[in-house]
Structure 1
Amino acid sequence: MTSQRNKPGQGSVYQRKDGYFVAQVHIGQDDNGKPKYARKTFKAESDALIWRDKAIVEYRLGTFIIPSTITLGEWMDIWLEQYARPNVRPKTYECYEYITRLHLKPKLGNVKIQSLQTTQLQRLLNEKRQSGLATRTVELILTTARTALKQAMHDELINKNAADHVRKPKPSPKQISVFTVDQMKEFMFVAEEDRLWIAFKLLLGTGMRVGELLALKWGDINLERGHIDVTKGTVLVKNEHGPNKTHQIIQEPKTKNGYRRIPITEDLVRQLKRWHFLQFFEKKNAEGKYEDSGLVVTTKKGRMVTQRNLATKFHRLLAKAEIPKTNLHSLRHTYATRLLEAGVHPKVVQELLGHGSIRITLDTYSHVLPDVKKQAIDKIEGMLSPRKMGRVWV
């Protein structure tokens, strides 16, 4: 095919000596005032002509994207370092990096970002779900891809987000572990003998997350009025500097719902006063080696307790109390379950737990709702019957 010279704002197609066809579109001028072109190479002339005509229309509509050979894997690396790392929490970055390294790059890393199709991402998610990967992890794969591709759109690398129309996997029913009332009593009876009994008492008595408990300071507690203000949380992140692989940091809640005030019982107030005295006694006997961090739950030297060590202690107490093994989060579930069983409105439970919506609360504790409904129906027992027996119809 003979070369077709184009005027500014138009395009052309020409054949190279090697037989390939080059489609080009005039897209303005460079910094030196010379014509600037966007070009793409094709084996077939018909494909080159189609691309040229489409590119001209998109350019005039303002939706044209300059061809790029960057792959999804290359873009994920750029996005992680330039956009994610400086702007998200350390734990969120670790999650993005983990999902990219283990799930996105192995399967789709070599695909050009401009060629990525929704069906490819959907196939990846379906395969991961069928392999037995947790629903939450599969959702994180989609979230990570969608967020990175959204930035690629903003940077004009692509004109559509291939992840926008991928269907999320159907969530599996949540399996939660809850102590019975007898198990609660037995566990606390055993836990009373442990130095950190107050930690387990607080988890069962407030429904706080473990990270929130470990970040709790005495300044967040009002013993006179009997309430706790949740304003911080701890999270375990990779340790880039130092001998340990990970370390625990304190950070603010991710959403406004995380900030909340939790009323506490008079018994818990007494227990906290008792613990405060014991902590003061430990500080006095530490001979200047005590780290006064202001934290409520601490080691004998005043240092922050790690989630791992608290979980280890928890499992030992479970074994001693002859309660089936579960995780620390079950104490939070137990708190919520007891409230719902007592007839507390789910909206109140949602606010006490710091859930983002009442739907989360209802979905998580659906196992309690049938009993709550039955209790509600029992309350109107007799309301539909007359006070005195009237005429008997036969």
Structure 2
Amino acid sequence: MASAKNKNGQGCVYQRKDGYWVAQVSLGKDDNGKPKYARKTFKREEDALHWRDKALVEQRQGVFTVPSTVTFGEWLDIWLTRYVRPHVRPKTWESYEYIARFHLKPMLGNVKVQALQTAQLQQLLNQRHQSGLSSRTVELIQITARASLKQAIHEGLVSRNAAEHLRKPKKVAKEIRVMTVEEMRKLLTVADDDRLGTAFHLLLGTGMRVGELLALTWADVDLEQAVIRVNKAAILVKNADHDTDATANKTCVITQPPKTKHGHRSIPITDDLVRYLRRWLIFQRRERMITGADYQDKGLVITTMFGHQVSQRYLARKLQQLLSKADVPVTNLHALRHTYATRLLESEIHPKVVQELLGHGSIGITLNTYSHVLPDLKKQAIGKLEGMLNTRARWQGQLG
């Protein structure tokens, strides 16, 4: 066995009996006082020498990482289990897990995490974008990869983040469907004949998110002060019990507080909506009396006839039925929130107020989301200057 050992602190390179070359650098001592080493095997001596020299430089710079056979897919599993799931909301974990399982692992899961290159991740983003995947999902792929590799740096598994300088595909702004005033009236007229009509009056009259509406209780509604307090939302998540019990439902609904302080808010409501809610409360009480012991009173505003929480999927189907009956173009539940915000901006309500009513984290989100309203608002603003600048300069008299 040929060998080329160097002085202490300089590492060594030696050849094994099978002909392969081993590069070795010292890592100090372990907890028991025994020497620790980092080793890597190469077919050629020059490659082993190069790695040893590079490792020694990185050690001095404090960026050296111990060679590892952990793949990117294995690291993603560790990261999701150890660093994500215990510390984030269930829906956030589902999002990370979905991106890892369907996008990162299939293409890059077998690549050793220390060998992962920025070019490989960029190619993945480009392919996903070209396949028609939404720009938001492509962005989530980058976010997931970057977050997982950032933690890998803290673990000493890698020395750099291969996802740090990726170029995101240009976002394509989605066209927001906003109902006209006439369409609003048509929908609500038809909804008045439906038991769940109250849901659509509230969505168009408050701009609440659907999850916030479905979690709304009468304790959150102050009919005397004409205000609704938003402090929670119903979220559909994977049912953890399904992993151990195949008979359990795959999903379940949980109620959780808003993600940010901006989500906690009070929304004033119109006198018309107050009167509507008073009538609905009386109807709901009568329904409870008729149903008797089968009624489960959870204090919810929007319920089934037995007091159960209404699912978002069922409410979405109901909306489509009512739109068809009202002869209004197809749209989705979230469009009712957009419609509420647009009506406010068209009424010259300050965007800051609209931001607070919607629970947006910043006014920038509001302005970017509803930029389609701004051109008309600009014209209205300029129109108010009419007459303020109406003077006559001396040179105008020379024109006759």
Give CA deviations for 1:358-378 in whole Å, capped at 9, x if unaligned.
222122111111111111111
Secondary structure at the counterpart of residue 292 of structure 2: coil
Give CA deviations for 1:47-94 in whole Å, capped at 9, x if unaligned.
211211121122233221111010001111111222222222111111
**Percentage of matched positions with identical amino acids:** 64
AA of the residue aligned to 2:331: T
Q: CA deviation at 1:8?
A: 4.2
Matching of residues 179-194 of structure 1 within 5 Å: 179-194=179-194
Q: Are 2:215 and 2:255, in contact at CA under 8 Å, matched by a contact in 1?
A: yes
Please give the root-mean-square deviation of Cα atoms over the aligned residues, in Å: 1.8
Give CA deviations for 1:295-325 in whole Å, capped at 9, x if unaligned.
1111111111100011111110000001111
Q: CA deviation at 1:36?
A: 0.8
Secondary structure at the counterpart of residue 25 of structure 1: strand
4+ aligned runs moved over 6 Å, structure 1: 387-391
Q: Are 1:298 and 1:304, in contact at CA under 8 Å, matched by a contact in 2?
A: yes
Secondary structure at the counterpart of residue 317 of structure 1: helix
TM-score (norm 1): 0.96
The answer to whether structure 1 residue 340 and structure 2 residue 349 are counterparts is no
Q: CA deviation at 1:223?
A: 1.4
Q: Are 1:207 and 1:332, in contact at CA under 8 Å, matched by a contact in 2?
A: yes
Q: CA deviation at 1:104?
A: 0.4
Residue of structure 2 equivalent to 1:114: 114
The answer to whether structure 1 residue 85 and structure 2 residue 85 are counterparts is yes
Q: Are 2:2 and 2:16, in contact at CA under 8 Å, matched by a contact in 1?
A: no
Secondary structure at the counterpart of residue 287 of structure 1: helix
From 283, 296, 299, the counterpart of 2:301: 296
Secondary structure at the counterpart of residue 305 of structure 1: coil
Secondary structure at the counterpart of residue 63 of structure 2: coil
Distance 1:388 1:153 in 2: 70
Q: Are 1:8 and 1:28, in contact at CA under 8 Å, matched by a contact in 2?
A: no
From 243, 246, 249, the counterpart of 2:251: 246
Distance 1:158 1:61 in 2: 14
Matching of residues 48-197 of structure 1 within 5 Å: 48-197=48-197
Pair 4,254 (structure 1): closer, same or farther in 2 beyond 3 Å:
same
Distance 1:387 1:203 in 2: 52
Structure with greater proportional helix content: 2
The answer to whether structure 1 residue 230 and structure 2 residue 235 are counterparts is no
Pair 217,25 (structure 1): closer, same or farther in 2 beyond 3 Å:
same
Residue of structure 2 equivalent to 1:215: 215
Which shifted more, 262-271 or 232-241?
232-241
Distance 2:373 2:343 in 1: 9
Secondary structure at the counterpart of residue 286 of structure 2: helix
AA of the residue aligned to 1:273: R
Which shifted more, 78-87 or 198-207?
78-87
Secondary structure at the counterpart of residue 224 of structure 1: coil
Matching of residues 257-296 of structure 1 within 5 Å: 257-296=262-301
Q: CA deviation at 1:387?
A: 9.1
Q: Are 1:9 and 1:27, in contact at CA under 8 Å, matched by a contact in 2?
A: no
Q: CA deviation at 1:112?
A: 0.6
Distance 2:293 2:394 in 1: 81
From 322, 331, 354, the counterpart of 1:326: 331
Q: Are 1:174 and 1:364, in contact at CA under 8 Å, matched by a contact in 2?
A: no
Secondary structure at the counterpart of residue 367 of structure 1: helix
Distance 2:19 2:59 in 1: 27
The answer to whether structure 1 residue 382 and structure 2 residue 387 are counterparts is yes
AA of the residue aligned to 1:353: L
TM-score (norm 2): 0.95
